[in-house]
């Protein structure tokens, strides 16, 4: 914090001295002026992170000073206005000119110190988020260009080597390397987005909004984990779904900081490999149902049990069971028209994506039974689940 520079503009020396005395104790670097004209020169020379500004000053008042510096959201400086005479219209005009907060004189010095600390911290967070966003855009642009260049190269190789068996085999290996790299890059980009969401959650106070961000992070993690498993697999077309589900459930327990001695999870998952087209919706379904249980099923209870089973039936279909011993769902709930996004998403994924069946029961907790068949794609854009 020693490098943070603060500019104080006030025509009363006693006010400048009082603020300087208290801010200096916190190792801020303090500069001051008694009117807007002096402030303009100091602003360009010092480049402060925060300006404490009085509105009523000789030579150039605070409003004119704000017009001159022309603040924008991308600026590295925040402004806190002090006023003993400002009208509501004047305050509204100041906010239009980009200030972040104001206090009426006489002010409580501790309240001012709190606003100063909060304003500087918020400005630093904004700058960091802007840097992350710019970096993400650069990564996406670079990855897109590299993938396009690689794709162009492969197309040229395919045309040139169609009639040579040896070269065709080499081309096949090249495409597998490319596909593995694509899965790797997709996973990395999803993790970058998840990290940005995690950074944003640190400044969210509303529990409902915080839950939405965490749900979005878990959905991103569910898809990123699939691409990670495919990247690590020898078979790029199918995934070891039992191992994937085990890793996903471990992640959800860690994500919600669940004490395994209180909420016991039992799993019984048949060893099976399935394609990405089936694994994505199935993984999202497990994420939504298990997350819903961990968040809501055991509220007000000492603990309970959560069960996840996946079995392959004799006719080739799969049966997924997710159940808990919690408080159960509200009476008369309609999954298709539920107010909860997660339950609506589960219903849509089962019916529209997997073309399966969904049943549930709310006696002695909540149980979901989903029966589906692995989707097979015979041609591009043609789905055949039979």
pLDDT band at 1 (very low <50, low <70, confident <90, very high): very low
Report the pLDDT averaged over residues 40-65.
87
pLDDT of 75 reads 78
Determine the Cα–Cα distance for residues 21 and 113; give it in Å rounded to an integer. 11
Task: Assign 181 a pLDDT band (cuts: 50, 70, 90).
Answer: low
Task: Name which of 90, 25, 17 is nearest 52 in CA terms.
Answer: 17
* Mean pLDDT of the 5-31 span: 87
327 contacts: CB under 8 Å, gap ≥ 6: 296, 297, 298, 299, 300, 301, 365
- Read off the pLDDT band of 310 (50, 70, 90): very high
Class of domain 237-386: alpha beta
The predicted-structure confidence for 98-150, as pLDDT tens digits, reads as follows 787 878 877 778 888 888 888 888 888 887 887 888 788 888 788 788 778 87
Top pLDDT among 215 and 125 is at 125
What is residue 225's predicted lDDT score, i.e. its pLDDT?
Answer: 64
pLDDT of residue 255 exceeding 80, the answer is no
pLDDT in tens, 216-254: 766 666 666 665 665 555 565 677 888 888 888 888 888
Confidence (pLDDT) at 57: 85
Q: What is the band of 267 on the pLDDT scale with cuts at 50, 70, 90?
A: very high
So what's the pLDDT on residue 380? Answer: 38
Nearest to 307 by CA among 286, 333, 283: 286
CATH class entry, domain 5-124: alpha beta
Nearest to 225 by CA among 195, 245, 211: 245
Could you tell me the pLDDT band of residue 155, with boundaries at 50, 70 and 90?
confident
Q: What's residue 386's pLDDT? A: 44
Give the pLDDT confidence score for residue 314 in this predicted structure: 92
Q: Work out the average pLDDT over 166-186.
A: 54
pLDDT at 95 over 60: yes
- Write the pLDDT tens digit of every residue in 185-199: 555 666 666 566 666
Report the 10 Å Cβ neighbour count for 27: 10
Confidence of residue 381 (pLDDT cuts 50, 70, 90): very low
- Model confidence at 379, pLDDT cuts 50, 70, 90, reads very low
Return the pLDDT at 312: 92
- Report whether 254 contacts 218 (CB < 8 A): no
Average pLDDT, the chain: 78
Share of the chain above pLDDT 90, in %: 10
Confidence (pLDDT) at 201: 67
Per domain, the residue ranges of the chain are 5-124, 237-386
User: Which of 2-6, 142-146, 223-227, 286-290 has the lowest average pLDDT?
Assistant: 223-227
- Tokens 């106070």 found at: 205
Q: Determine the pLDDT at residue 116.
A: 86
pLDDT category at 318 given cuts 50, 70, 90 is very high
């Amino acid at each position: 914090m020693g490098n943070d520079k603060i500019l104080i503009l006030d025509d009363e020396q006693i006010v400048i001295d009082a603020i300087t005395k208290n801010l200096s104790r916190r190792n801020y670097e303090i500069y001051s002026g008694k009117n807007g004209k002096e402030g303009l020169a100091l602003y360009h020379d010092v480049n402060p992170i925060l300006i404490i500004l009085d509105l009523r000053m000789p030579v150039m008042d605070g409003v004119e000073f704000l017009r001159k510096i022309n603040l924008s959201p991308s600026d590295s400086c925040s402004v806190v206005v002090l006023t003993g005479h400002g009208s509501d219209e004047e305050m509204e005009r100041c906010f239009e000119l980009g200030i972040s907060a104001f206090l009426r004189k006489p002010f409580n010095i501790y309240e001012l110190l709190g606003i100063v600390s909060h304003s500087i911290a918020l400005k630093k967070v904004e700058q960091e988020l802007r840097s992350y966003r710019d970096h993400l855009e650069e990564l996406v642009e670079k990855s897109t260009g590299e993938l396009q260049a690689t794709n162009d190269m492969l197309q040229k190789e395919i045309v040139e080597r169609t009639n040579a068996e040896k070269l065709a085999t080499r081309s096949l290996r090249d495409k597998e390397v490319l596909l593995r790299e694509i899965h790797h890059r997709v996973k990395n980009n999803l993790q970058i987005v998840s990290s940005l969401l995690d950074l944003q959650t640190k400044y969210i106070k509303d529990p409902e909004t915080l839950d939405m961000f965490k749900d979005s992070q878990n959905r991103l993690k569910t898809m990123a984990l699939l691409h990670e498993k495919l990247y690590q697999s020898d078979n790029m077309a199918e995934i070891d779904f039992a191992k994937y589900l085990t890793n996903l459930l471990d992640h959800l327990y860690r994500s919600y900081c669940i004490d395994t001695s209180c909420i016991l999870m039992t799993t019984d998952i048949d060893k099976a490999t399935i394609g990405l087209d089936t694994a994505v919706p199935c993984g999202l379904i497990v994420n939504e149902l298990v997350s819903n249980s961990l968040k809501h099923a055991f509220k007000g209870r000492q603990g309970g049990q959560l069960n996840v089973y996946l079995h392959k039936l004799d006719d080739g279909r799969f049966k997924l069971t997710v159940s808990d011993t919690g408080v159960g769902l509200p009476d008369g709930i309609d999954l298709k028209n539920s107010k909860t996004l997660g339950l609506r998403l589960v219903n849509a994924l089962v019916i529209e994506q997997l073309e399966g069946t969904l049943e549930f029961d709310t006696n002695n907790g909540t149980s979901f039974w989903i029966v589906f068949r692995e989707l097979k794609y015979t041609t591009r854009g043609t789905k055949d689940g039979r």
